[in-house]
Amino acid sequence: RSRRLAARALARGARQGALSTAAAQLPAAADVVVIGGGIIGTSVAYHLAKRGGASVLLLERDQLTSGTTWHAAGLMVTYGSLSETSTEFRKYTKELYSIVLPEETGLDAGFKGVGFVELAATPNPNFNRYAGDVTDRLSEYRRVAAYNRHLGVDVQELSPREVQDLVPLCHIDDVLAGFYVPTDGRVNPVDATAALAKGAKLHGAKIAEGVAVADVETREVVSDGGGRHREVTAVLTGCGRRVEAQKVVNCAGMWARDLGARLGVAVPNQACEHYYLITDTMEGVDPNWPVVEDPENFSYIRPEGDGLMIGLFEGDPAPWGPVPENFSFGEIQPDWDRITPFLEAAMGRVPETLNAGMKKLFCGPESFTPDGAPLLGEAPELRNFYVAAGMNSVGILTGGGVGKLMADWVLDGAPPADVDVTGVNVDRFQPFQATRRYLTPRATETLARVYRTHYPDMQPETSRSARVSPLHATLREQGAVFKDVSGWEGADFYAGDAAAADAYAAARTYTFGRPGCWKAWAAEHDAVRSAAALIDMSFMSKFRVVGADAGKLLNRLCTADVANDTPGITYTQFLNEGGRLEADVTVTRVAGDDFLVVATDTAHRHAEAHLRRHAAAGAYSASVVDVTA
């Protein structure tokens, strides 16, 4: 309640002060319009304005933070990701909240560097049905720690006793080790948003609250070569105003999918229920204790006031929706039956909590994506329309880095050369992955997996068989055990026959060592080396590039000469103007002006957009047809 009051006070103060809410004061045009005033939209606006050179307008439907941001737990953690991009987001964000914003704006973003400990414990038999070995968590976190140290995060491995020295009420009988980052901690999401908003204003951005974007206006552009694409021209507000825009950034949080869908843009994010409990005052709690994550019990614990906050990423989560348009500072009715076993396990880590009263069980919505990474970048379907959504419950702790990346991407028209955006680019998903049928179960499974052990070959269980090849039944008869390949079913290995494959899948456990299918893989490798193999690659992306200029276009994009008369397949790369790799492809000249381009599954829409955009920009007479399936 106090967070909600603070957020409302922030909005009131903002209204009374410099921030404009009156739709009448909206400018007629802005170079960049940012939709949504949560932590992400505010950070994008701040970084755009700070870089300068473009007029920036942020439009917020209701009040800043009123969607998801106001109720975030505020963990500010740099440990834990095996993505360099995400780890760099986290490091940058921590510095932004703790040093840069307070200095620049005079506002405290509420950062407390109390430290963070990730617990590696033996498997909880009620929850961890995949564990191959009791030390699997330890194996995982030692790997994560090594990688994070390589990226400059100061991770220290602690003994169970050292963990208890930091948090004396912590039960440690099952703890194998703690992974400690002394300078991590927590932040106040409302204060951080306020500081970003003030910084954005100081750098010249305009922020208007109470102004919903009802639609985005687009136009079709036809190039000299006949290629067509759509681009944004303006936003239309709910109060009937039109603001011309060169570029638009969709930071609408859990509303981002529907906003994208109205424009034909696939934004696969799904709101799910997300919980934390706050205890009454507890004896012996020190507000300077570090944040403790206890994944074996699907939970995290940190001081909150004179008590503790116990947050969950439960293994059996629930999707939420449809999201009402007027949902502001809202809560969801908790599902006590579903959540109680997880709460009990979580409270077992600090047994005193079982005797403490409960101040609040909070449930609010947060957006999750099919693979647990955010959706960032320019939409392949619509030029100059950018997306920054689907934060998978790390929107606060990555928000600074996300905002910085997006500002550079929007202003330069391309991501910076030193950031690998492959795993966060919104174009890695296909439109079918944004359908409710595929997305809702898969994104909910993403939440279920946040605190599971992350085995290298772990397979998703939901939304399988969205795409199957014509050979699927044949492969199954031959004993294929399938794995998920961008929504396709790909043969992972052959177990002998269909019954053996089913038995393997039913009894499957995972490991950081050699998987059970090791010998089957070895036999396949032997067959490929010593004889021959037929491999089903239906999941690869395939495009026909046809027309008088098809060869010229491909030779412009590829490193190799692909338009010569030598028969065969050319393995080559699409490079951009900076000489960086855009896609790894093969090109086959099928006939004179008819080429087949094959790219990997995850680069499907990236390669396609790259082809189409260059065909249009260079006025090449060439059409691109997706012939994948």
Q: Which residues bind ligand FAD (CB under 6 A)?
A: 35-41, 59-62, 66-69, 71-75, 212-213, 251-255, 259, 274, 276, 364, 366, 389, 391, 393-397
Residue closer to ligand FAD by CB (options 90, 349) is 90
Closest CA to 48 of 56, 40, 59: 56
Smallest gap from Cβ 253 to ligand FAD, in A, equals: 3
* Least distance (Å) between residue 250 CB and ligand FAD: 9
Where in 73-227 does DSSP place strands (E)?
75-76, 116-121, 156-158, 175-181, 185-186, 206-209, 213-222
CB of 324 to ligand FAD, least distance (A): 11
Beta bridge partners of 360: 278
**Of 23 and 466, CB closest to ligand FAD:** 23
The backbone torsions φ and ψ at residue 434, rounded to the nearest 5 degrees and listed phi first, read -100, 0
Give the residue with the Cβ less far from ligand FAD, 101 or 495: 101
Q: Residue 389 in contact with residue 440, Cβ under 8 Å?
A: no
Closer Cβ to ligand FAD, 77 or 155, answer by number? 77
User: Measured from the CB atom, is 62 or 408 closer to ligand FAD?
Assistant: 62
Q: Rounded to the nearest whole angstrom, what is the least distance from the CB of residue 254 to ligand FAD in the complex?
A: 6
Rounded least distance, CB 361 to ligand FAD, Å: 11
Exposed, middle or buried, 477 (CB in 10 Å: 0-12/13-18/19+)? exposed
Residue 412 backbone phi and psi in degrees, to 5:
-95, -15
CA atoms within 13 A on the CB side of 217: 13
Angstrom distance (rounded) from CA 612 to CA 266: 18
Based on CB atoms, which residue is closest to ligand FAD, 60 or 304? 60
Contacts of 283 (CB under 8 A, 6+ apart): 352
CB of 286 to ligand FAD, least distance (A): 20
- Residues 70/4, Cβ–Cβ less than 8 Å: yes
- Provide, rounded to whole angstroms, the least separation between the CB of residue 331 and ligand FAD: 10
Smallest separation, CB 193 to ligand FAD (Å): 8
In contact, 13 and 166? CB cutoff 8 Å? no
The smaller minimum CB distance to ligand FAD, of residues 192 and 545, is found at 192
Using a CB cutoff of 8 Å and minimum separation of 24, what contacts does 232-235 make?
232/382, 232/383, 232/384, 232/385, 235/33, 235/35, 235/59
Strand partners, 273: 365
Q: Report whether 123 contacts 131 (CB < 8 A).
A: yes
Residue 322 is classified by DSSP as P
Please state the φ and ψ torsions of residue 511, each to the nearest 5 degrees: -155, 155
Nearest C-alpha neighbor of 539 from the set 470, 448, 438: 470
In our burial notation (b when 16+ CB lie closer than 10 A, e otherwise), range 611-623 reads bbbbbbebebbbb
Location of structure tokens 């036999």:
523
Sign of CA dihedral 271, 273, 274, 280: positive
- Among residues 276 and 429, whose Cβ is nearest to ligand FAD? 276
User: CA of 145: how far to CAs of 83, 94, 131, 379, 429, in Å?
Assistant: 12, 18, 20, 34, 29
CB closer to ligand FAD, 226 vs 238: 238
Contacting residues for 589 by C-beta, under 8 A, at least 6 apart = 551, 562, 563, 564, 565, 567, 595
Nearer to ligand FAD, 444 or 621 (CB): 444
- Complex with ligand FAD: residue 42 or 384, whichever CB lies closer: 42
Report, in Å, the least distance between residue 102 CB and ligand FAD. 19
Residues 619, 549: Cα–Cα separation, whole Å: 9
- In the complex, what is the shortest distance from the CB of residue 63 to ligand FAD, in angstroms, rounded to a whole number? 7
**What is the C-alpha end-to-end distance of the chain, expressed in Å?**
52
Q: How far is the CB of 199 from ligand FAD (least distance, A)?
A: 16
Kindly tell me which of 302 and 428 has the beta carbon lying closer to ligand FAD: 302
CB of 219 to ligand FAD, least distance (A): 20
Residue 382 Cβ vs ligand FAD, minimum distance, rounded to whole Å: 16
